Every structure is written in C-alpha cells, then in structure tokens.
Amino acid sequence: MSEIELVSGPDAPGGELMAGVASVLGAPAAERRRSLRQLPQGLALRLYTAMARLRAFDERAVILQRQGTIGTYPPYYGEEAVQAASVLALDDRDWLFPTYRQNAVATLRGCPPESPLLLWRGNPAGWYDVHRYRTAPICVPVATNYPHAVGAAWGSRLRGESTVALAFGGDGSTSPGDFHEACNLAAVVVAPVIFLVTNNQWAISTPVQQQTKVTRLADKATAYGIPGVRVDSFDVFACYEAVAAAAARGRAGLGPTLIEAVGYRLGPHGTADEPSLYRDPERARLWAGMEPLGRAGAAMVDAGLTTLEALEEIRESAVAEMLLAGDQLEAVPVPELEEIADRVHLSTPWTLSPDHLREPSYPRAG
Ligand SMILES: Cc1ncc(C[n+]2csc(CCOP(=O)(O)OP(=O)(O)O)c2C)c(N)n1
Ligand SMILES: [Mg+2]
C-alpha cells in the first residue's frame, strides 16, 4: 500500500491539522494489518460494500445532474467513509439526521436509491418514509438538524428506550447558534446523541480558518462539558470505532459526544460550484490520495482479508444497481400540483390550496 504523500502546511495531509487524529489505516503496516485482522468477521467487507454503494450513487447523481435529469446536487466524493461507518456502527433502530451532504445514507438502510434522486429531481415521490428507515429528511438549512437529533435522543431516553440519534454536519455548521444550543441542551439533559462534524475545511468558499479561530473543532465540546474526539475522515475503520464508542456512551446513559472527522472536501460544494475560483486545485489533488474507498480496499487486500477481484465485483454490482435506479427516474409521474405542499403543513393553508395555485395570477417562473 502506498504511503500518503506528505505536503507542507498545517492544513495538509500529514500536517498539523491531522496530527493526533485517531486512525487505523495511518498506523505502521504491521499494526494496521493486525487491527484489520481483528475486526469482527465480515465487517471490513460490509463497510467496503456500503462505501462502494454510496460512491456509485454519488457518481450516478452527478451524471444525472449533468444530463438535466435532476436539478442541483451536492457531491460527497471522499466522505463515504464517515457516512458508511456511521450507519454500520449504529443499530437500525437508531436515528440518523443527515444534511444535503449525506443525502443517500437512507439507501444503506434499504431505502431505494430512486428516492433521494427523485428528491433532487424535485419530485415529492422522493420523500421516503422517515420512520421506516429511521432517517430524517435531508436537512439543507445549516445546523438545524442538530436540535432535531437532540429532541429525538432525549425523547428516546425519556421513554426508557436504548436508541441513540446521530446528526451529521460540516465545519461551517459549528458556527450557527443551533449547534451550540444543541450541544448545551444535549449535555444538560444527558441526551444519547452523536454530533458528527465532518471538517472538510470548506463551507462553500469559506475556509475553516476564516470560519472559526478554533483549530480543532472537537475542542468546542469542552464548552459544553461533553467529550470531543477527532478521527481521520478518510479512514472507515477509525470512523467506525469512533461512532461505535460514542453510541455505547449514549446507551450507557453518559450523554452526547462530538466527533470531528478531519479531512478535506475533494470535490466542489455542489454541481453549480467551481472551486478553482477560490482555492488551489493542487491542494485538493494532494488530499485526493486519502480517498477512502481505494485506501480501505488496498489495506484490506494487504491484510489478506480479500482480493482485488472480489472488491471489483462489489464495485461493479453497486454501479449496476445505480444504473437501474437512474433509468427509472423519468418514468415516475409528475405529481398533482397540490401534492407539492402535502407534507409541509398539518393542514394546508389557503395560499397553497389547489384553487389558489391554479389562479392565472399566481406568480410562476419564466
Ligand atoms: C442557515 C443557512 N445558512 C446558509 C446556508 C447556505 N449554505 C449552504 S451549504 C453552506 C456551507 C456549509 O458548510 P459546512 O457546514 O462545512 O458543510 P459542507 O457543505 O462542507 O458539507 C452554506 C453556508 C444554508 N443552507 N443554511
Ligand atoms: Mg465543510
């Protein structure tokens, strides 16, 4: 397995930012092999498969966006490890609160991939059953999903259940008040919640150094009296350990954990974004060596857990699944006008009534 290329600068792989973060794949070869061989039977392949499926979804979604089949799309290339590890380290009864960046996590719990794709197509048929998959609707307003997760976790504790809730977010999401209020409340009510912050160093075009004066986002946990841990976001095995430990804390009645998954946004913010306008493409190229699927696969083969051919088969079947999902989108009927507001209000206000929406004077695009 090739070693990660070291570049200078505090925000580079191998630089200050990554110093001391929990890592399995970054350990010396003998230790890394030992750790992988000690994993529960089949876990490495399950993690790899989940990452491969997320990767195939993401790649297909970008193609569908370019073809005009879906509208805008926020790619998560490079963040598959955090997402796959989170889902697999939790029980299926635990709640997930994704943002736009983790828009396909419900597919790892059986939700058809067409659902999130239809959502990006603007078709309400893409609203999956949140109770069935224990996955909240993807959240676009930054940080508002943190208090939602605290509510779900607190509620489960009050009912005497053992479920935990995990909310995803980014470096930028640690600035708004919702994040701080959620951390504080969760600590005070001992809510079994995990705040999983992926520090990809960018909030659209704002670098993390301009976002906050805290170098290690996990340090923000100190202000609320909760543990803050740091983990390599490109290392699916380290992410798995971190989430499993945080979930165990929550279930043991010890309350919330903040996990900072440290990495770099390898792609654009969204399909309408052009990062070369505001950051050095060379830097992204250097971080690309940390890409989690290839990195995990190489280490698994090196440890004798699997073969390159077996991994290729996993990737091919994930791609085939996604081709099928993408092909079905255009056949899904466009819903009736009134369905658009169906799940927004308990009772639909007159401003969104079918009669009003069909008024010739109603403002329309174009
Ligand atoms: C409350 C709110 N303010 C601003 C925006 C516009 N916006 C969308 S994504 C984003 C950046 C978020 O960055 P980060 O939290 O680091 O997550 P990432 O996109 O890197 O996953 C912003 C400012 C928004 N969606 N919601
Ligand atoms: Mg970010």
pLDDT digits (tens, 9 = 90+) for 39-83: 999 999 999 999 999 999 999 999 999 999 999 999 999 999 999
- The pLDDT value given to residue 16: 83
Q: Does the annotation mark 66 as catalytic?
A: no
- The residue to mutate among 138, 142, 205, having the most atoms of ligand 1 within 8 angstroms of its beta carbon, is 142
Residue 336: strand, helix, or coil:
coil
Q: Is the pTM of this model over 0.85?
A: yes
> CA-to-CA distance for 62 and 51, rounded, in angstroms?
17
Taking residues 220-248, report their average pLDDT: 98
User: Which pair of structure tokens corresponds to residue 243?
Assistant: 């989430």
- The pLDDT value given to residue 356: 82
User: Which pair of structure tokens corresponds to residue 28?
Assistant: 């010396």
- Helix (H) or strand (E) run with residue 40 in it: none
Taking residues 203-213, report their average pLDDT: 96
> CA-to-CA distance for 5 and 3, rounded, in angstroms?
6
- The pLDDT value given to residue 101: 98
Residue-averaged pLDDT of the chain: 93
Take atom 4 of ligand 1 and give the residue whose Cα is closest: 142
Q: Cβ contacts of residue 252 below 8 Å, gap of 6+? A: none
The answer to whether residue 5 scores a pLDDT higher than 50 is no
Give residue 198's pLDDT band: very low, low, confident or very high (50, 70, 90). Answer: very high
- The pLDDT value given to residue 213: 95
> CA-to-CA distance for 145 and 176, rounded, in angstroms?
12
> CA-to-CA distance for 227 and 246, rounded, in angstroms?
9
Q: Do 46 and 101 meet the contact criterion of CB atoms below 8 Å apart?
A: no
Q: Which residue has tokens 């943002």?
A: 99
> CA-to-CA distance for 29 and 16, rounded, in angstroms?
22
Residue 278: strand, helix, or coil:
coil
Q: Do 299 and 32 meet the contact criterion of CB atoms below 8 Å apart?
A: yes
> CA-to-CA distance for 121 and 117, rounded, in angstroms?
6
Which residue is catalytic, options 230, 265, 295, 315? 265
Q: Which ligand is located closest to the Cα atom of residue 83? A: 1
Give residue 364's pLDDT band: very low, low, confident or very high (50, 70, 90). Answer: low
Which residue is catalytic, options 34, 278, 285, 358? 278
Take atom 19 of ligand 1 and give the residue whose Cα is closest: 203
- The pLDDT value given to residue 3: 43
Q: In order of start, what are the domains of the chain with their CATH numbers? A: 16-335 (3.40.50.970), 339-366 (no CATH)
Beta-ladder partners of 202: 207
- The pLDDT value given to residue 124: 83
